[in-house]
Chain A
Amino acid sequence: MNAPVRTARLRLPRPLLLLGLLGLALLVAPAFVGSYALSVLILILYSAYTGQAWNIMMGFAGQLSLGHALYVGVGAYAAAALFVHYGIGPWAGMWAAMLAAMLAGGLIGYLAFRFGISGVYFALLTIAFAEFTRIGFDHITWIGGSAGYFLPVKQRTSSDLLDLRGAPAMFYYVMLALAALAMAVCKALLSSRTGYYWLAIREDPEAAQALGINTFRYKMIAVVISAAMTSLAGVFFAFYYNNLFPEQVFNIGRSIEIILGPIFGGLGTLFGPIAGAIVLTLLGESLRSATSALGWEVPGLELLIYGACLLLVVMFLPNGIWPPVSRWLGIKSRHLKGGE
């Protein structure tokens, strides 16, 4: 019994070291990169964050949500409306955003889990809710309706962190903090009772219930936490882009974007959403610049190649890219799905 404990201790610093190096590189990055690279980094962090939040539902608790754009949108509109109408800043507004998203997630979860809706039917329900929220928001003129909702933008010389108005570097650090926080939250959740119960529910709900797990309660916890986290991405989205259109924010394409990273990276793993966000964002950006640099003016070509890459990963690495990468880095991960 002693040997494995000792080796575990020897192994421990390695992921921490790698994480520390990554964190350090990300901390100093704005000093060394241009504005385009910085915007790509923000995209990566944003995608890692939303992927992490979605992964709680699908990767941990096994509930497939294809409507996570709903929580992004609800969070974005809640914080933006409070800011524009009442001058309430995002740091206060984010609590309202989270509350609104938790109510939305709680409602969907209650309807689905109380009546035993799961699998693809649950996924359809999440799409339906996101879609009719999109249509509904088109008609709420108080927040712009289909014409869009705009946050006031002013030329300024300094960044205003309190109102989240200012230079890209400020947004970068906010997003970095959010992504790091999400990672820490997921790590803590995964090693908690709740995390173990989620994995059990994901693997076999009936067997989980036979072991005393109130599956309804723990699925509700998953959807509510995931919705709350996702809504913060929405708050960021609103203040970063300064414009919101229901057509775009609640679009199903947005929901798909959220889920690609963790699936590509490795469902149910802590680093999967990060790895997926890095590779997919870089792939998308480089394909765009490569096709235009090569003068291949075929509309949608980069999307075609992008799709082919996704296909290859799904075919050859059905558990995502993180499990093999982690082995290559010499990190022994706990056996989650695809730990093999």
Chain B
Amino acid sequence: MERLLDVRGITKSFTGLKAVAGVSFGVAPGEIVALIGPNGAGKTTLFNVAAGVYRPDEGQVTLGGERIDGLRPDQVCQAGLGRTFQNARPFAGISVLDNVLVGALRRDGSVRAARKRAEATVERLGLWPKRFEPASTLTLPDRKRLEVARALASSPRILLLDEVMAGLRPTETDQMVALFRELNAQEGLTILLIEHVMRAVMALSRHIVVLHHGEVIKEGAPDEVVRDPAVLECYLGEEAL
């Protein structure tokens, strides 16, 4: 299978602690893959390696066949990888629309064109009524939406979502899930998500990778993964499905 994002043998340690140890997996174009696992399993570290925040100790990451490991985050973004942050990081002092516009500027040649696409994205995420508000005034669910809107506006080839459902109510989660399904179906957007909300994971992903202690302990189709004894043992055991 041809892979859009290919993670191969990634190892990353922090002063002796191996956060990620020899992790390999891939995301095919148009696919939605979920990365799950208990806290401290190395999911966010892996994300940060892919996004250029950390340079891996070993292994390589390719996007569309091009090496992206070791590049700076802005270069990784320019290569077509968009990401959100686990703790939403809006540009607090500027308006919601301007936040998204900054993202849109990656692709668009002019501010005018970027504004247009930012407006469309803001509307799509349900932030239209708040577009002129400073981002600092947003509630947590709206911050999460803004985080997604901003990354989405940069027209990534693959979108990395770090716990964007955390803190959302079930109906809000469902809305977000519906949006990603729509983007995936209509625009072929490829998504890799870290998520604890299994309701969203099950509804979205076609493929799940389970990390534990920095290693992949299981990967496969969702219904197969959630029945796996090792996965149940380390992670899903307490989780109400």
On A, residues with C-beta under 8 Å from B are: 1, 4, 191-193, 196-197, 199-200, 202-204, 206-215, 268, 334-340
Chain A residues near B136 (CB-CB < 8 A): 340
A167→B149 CA distance, assembly (Å)? 57
Contact A210 B94 (CB under 8 A): no
Top 5 closest A-B pairs, CB basis? A203-B91, A212-B77, A337-B93, A335-B95, A212-B106
Task: Give the residues in chain A near B106, CB-CB below 8 Å.
Answer: 211-212
Q: Please determine whether B98 and A211 come into contact, CB atoms closer than 8 angstroms.
A: no
Beyond A197-B105, A335-B132, A340-B134, whether A209 also contacts B74 by CB under 8 A is yes
Cβ of B72: which chain A residues have Cβ within 8 Å of it? 209, 214
Selected A-B contacts with CB under 8 Å, 15 pairs: A193-B105, A193-B111, A200-B91, A203-B90, A203-B92, A204-B92, A209-B72, A210-B151, A212-B106, A212-B154, A213-B102, A334-B98, A335-B94, A335-B98, A335-B134
Least CB separation from B132: chain A residue: A335
Tell me whether A210 and B102 are in contact (CB under 8 A): no
Query: Are B92 and A209 neighbours in the complex by a CB distance under 8 Å?
Result: no
How many angstroms between the C-alpha atoms of A337 and B95 in the bound complex? 9
Closest A residue by C-beta to B105: A193
Other 19 A-B pairs with CB < 8 A, given A197-B102, A204-B90, A212-B78 = A4-B132, A199-B94, A199-B102, A200-B94, A203-B91, A206-B53, A207-B89, A207-B91, A208-B91, A210-B51, A210-B73, A210-B77, A211-B106, A211-B154, A214-B74, A268-B93, A335-B94, A339-B93, A340-B134
Contact B103 A211 (CB under 8 A): yes
Interchain CA distance A116-B97 in the complex, whole Å: 29
Q: How far is A215 from B77 in the complex, measured between Cα atoms in Å?
A: 13
Which residue of B74, B92, B95 contacts A334 across the interface (Cβ within 8 Å)? Answer: B95
A-B CB contacts (within 8 Å), total count: 93
Tell me which residues across on chain B come within 8 A of A212, comparing CB atoms: 74, 77-78, 106, 154
Instruction: Give the nearest-CB partner of A204 in chain B.
Output: B89
Q: How far is the CB of A198 from chain B (nearest CB, A)?
A: 10
Who on chain B is nearest to A335 by CB?
A: B95
Asked if B196 is at the interface of the complex by the 8 Å CB criterion, the answer is no
Hey, which chain A residues are within 8 Å of B150, CB to CB?
A: 211
* Min CB gap B147→A, angstroms: 9
**B101, CB-defined interface residue at 8 Å:** yes
Give min CB distance, B93 to chain A, whole Å.
4
